[in-house]
Structure 1
Amino acid sequence: MPGPNEYFNVPLSRVAVGDTNEFRQPGAIKAAVAEFISTLVFVFAGSGSGIAYNKLTGNAPSSPSGIISAAIAHGFGLFVAVAIGANISGGHVNPAVTFGLFVGGNITLIRGILYIIAQLLGSVAACALLAFTTGGLEVPAFALSGVNVWQAFVFEIVMTFGLVYTVYATAVDPKKGEIGIIAPIAIGFIVGANILAGGAFTGASMNPAVSFGPALVSFTWTHHWVYWAGPLVGGGLAGVVYEIFFINHTHEPLTEF
């Protein structure tokens, strides 16, 4: 009788802590720098569009046009950010993506921590630059609107699940074939679509780094845990689901994405 692993891959069997020497390896350092720059580019464009819209409209970010503006800016910005980092770090640009790849055994814990630190620093740097270059205009932090914290928590889980599932299907799956070419644009599109769906309720973060930079610069921490817990749970679930049901590993060594 076939063993259970002949039907399903067990992702946690491939999870690896890694070696602390990774912090000093030139390849890992280059990858972290790439994540810093990609996240800076993404957050500067995304949060910058929000600041510009607020300035032009008198602070009406929750209007239909404001949400459409945010969806376009974040979708385009993420497309570019993923594309410019893909050949160096994999273009995660998001701690939830990094975590989803870690639970699927596609990146070590040590390198994942390095990526997340770089992503957070990139977001903070982008928001500090925005505050300076706009003459001190407020960098808007993510906030709930018309939903309670548990509804927002589930909203962020579902949206981030869709994002990380898209990453797996278009960039991680070894059977992706030519569809891998459009991975950055597919990832940008799902983020833009999710902002149209959830922007009026949670701001549609799907990314702890995107939430952390504005929260730190504006020092606004209300319900901030939602923007960490929701994306990390959603990203982790997507990684486990895709690895179990759709990727068939045959004991090959762990490879970094």
Structure 2
Amino acid sequence: MSKGDVVIETAAEAEATAKAPYWDPPPAPLLDTSELKKWSLYRALIAEFMATLIFLYVSVATVIGYKSQSQAEACTGVGFLGVAWSFGATIFILVYCTGGISGGHINPAVTFGLFVGRKLSLVRTLLYIAAQCLGAVCGVGIVKAIMKHPYNSLGGGANEVATGYSVGGALAAEIVGTFILVYTVFSATDPKRTARDSFIPVLVPLPIGFAVFVVHLATIPITGTGINPARSLGAAVLYNQHDAWKDHWIFWVGPLIGATVAALYHKLVLRGEAVKALGSFRSTSATV
């Protein structure tokens, strides 16, 4: 092969690479203990801790403030709409701020869904969830310290199954709500979408924040809207009353099921990996 042929072949390879529609990162290893030696992991854990702390402080303070204001007069305060905006807008801000450091999960269900989708190792998944839960407890602790009397008398922002709804209905609401959120996360961060659409960084956290907003509008009357086990745990730990713990399992089991279904739906159906695997199996069988 002549030198000219090598240059032409190299240019052709470079052009083919440039025209590649997108590049999918390889699946994350299940156990990657080498991460424990990297500062980037601990920086991400700090970011998740702080983001979840801020999220719980703002959102639970909004809930307590609304209940306190509406107690005196029913039509005062931000209302359910304002509470939903508080949760959704805060997530939008925090995902925008921390997305480049930790991915901006701020939710064990999101982290677990990404683990199911092979985007995270088991080590990072467990440490993220621990950091998020600790941040949630600290965030609600700040609310309780500042708003002690209304916090204790108005339910502490804890998630409970509302009167008139069954445990099964509440579980279904948490599953569907978390599915919508995690499905949005996968869609917004899909490298195929990033390659196809003009990439504007603010567009990633925007649909995620809106997903949180619309799910809260739908499920606040049912469960107070969990869809985030750390949010539910932080409020339950600080309020620490029977009603907060009675059906607490719903706010873990529901989100984890919803996140799993969303991850599998995106991976196997929307990205067509089930069809690709079936096609590969058929082509292999034909050549045997």
Q: TM-score, normalised by structure 1?
A: 0.85
Which whole-Å deviations, capped at 9, do the CAs of 1:157-216 have from their partners, x for residues lacking one? 111000000001112344334266412111111111111111101111110011000000
Equivalent residue for 2:231, pick from 210, 223, 226? 210
Greater Cα offset, 137-146 or 171-180: 171-180
Distance 1:48 1:59 in 2: 17
* Alignment match, 1:247: 271
Deviates more, 1:129-138 or 1:93-102: 129-138
2:38 paired with 1:25: yes
Match in the other structure for 1:132? 145
Q: Percent identity?
A: 35
Tell me how far 1:134 sits from its aligned partner: 1.7
Partner of residue 86, structure 1: 99
- Describe the superposition over 1:61-97 as per-residue Cα deviations: whole angstroms up to 9, x where unpaired: 9x99631121011011111111111000000010000
Q: Which has the higher helix share?
A: 2
Confirm or deny: 8 A CA contact 1:23 1:114 kept in the other structure: no
C-alpha contact 1:170 1:180 (8 A) present in aligned 2: no
Q: Is the 8 A contact 1:15 1:104 kept in 2?
A: no
- The runs of 5 or more residues in structure 1 that have no matched partner are 1-12, 251-257
* Partners of 1:29 and 1:109 in 2: CA distance: 15
Of the structure 1 ranges 200-209 and 15-24, higher mean CA displacement relative to structure 2 is found in: 15-24
Larger Rg: 2
CA distance 1:246–1:60, shift in 2 (3 Å): farther
Q: 4+ residue runs of structure 1 moved beyond 6 angstroms?
A: none
Q: Secondary structure at the match of 2:246?
A: coil
Which residue of structure 2 lines up, in the alignment, with residue 183 of structure 1?
204
Equivalent in the alignment of 2:183:
165
Distance 2:73 2:130 in 1: 32
* Other-structure match for 2:13: none
Q: Report the more deviating stretch, 38-47 or 133-142.
A: 133-142
Amino acid at match of 2:102: S
1:44 to 50, 57, 67: 57
Which of the pair has the greater relative contact order for Cα pairs under 8 Å at 6+ separation?
1
Aligned counterparts of 2:184 and 2:73: Cα–Cα separation in 1: 31
CA distance in 2, matches of 1:187, 1:201: 21
Structure 2 distance, partners of 1:221, 1:203, is 14
Q: Cα distance, 1:36 vs. partner?
A: 0.6
Instruction: Figure out how many residues of one structure are paired with residues of the other and give that number.
Output: 237
In angstroms, what is the RMSD of aligned CA positions? 2.3
1:234 paired with 2:258, answer yes
Given the two structures, how large is their TM-score scaled by the length of structure 2? 0.77
- CA-CA distance at 1:16 after TM superposition: 3.2
Q: How many angstroms apart in 2 are the aligned matches of 1:59 and 1:70?
A: 18
1:156/1:26 Cα in 2 relative to 1: closer, same or farther (>3 Å)?
A: same
Report the residue type matching 1:152 in the other structure.
A
Letter in 2 for 1:45: V
Matched residues in 2 for 1:160 and 1:67: separation? 19
How far does residue 128 in structure 1 lie from its aligned partner after superposition? 0.5
Cα distance, 1:15 vs structure 2: 6.2
Q: Distance in 2 between matches of 1:44 and 1:27?
A: 26
- 2:79 is matched with 66
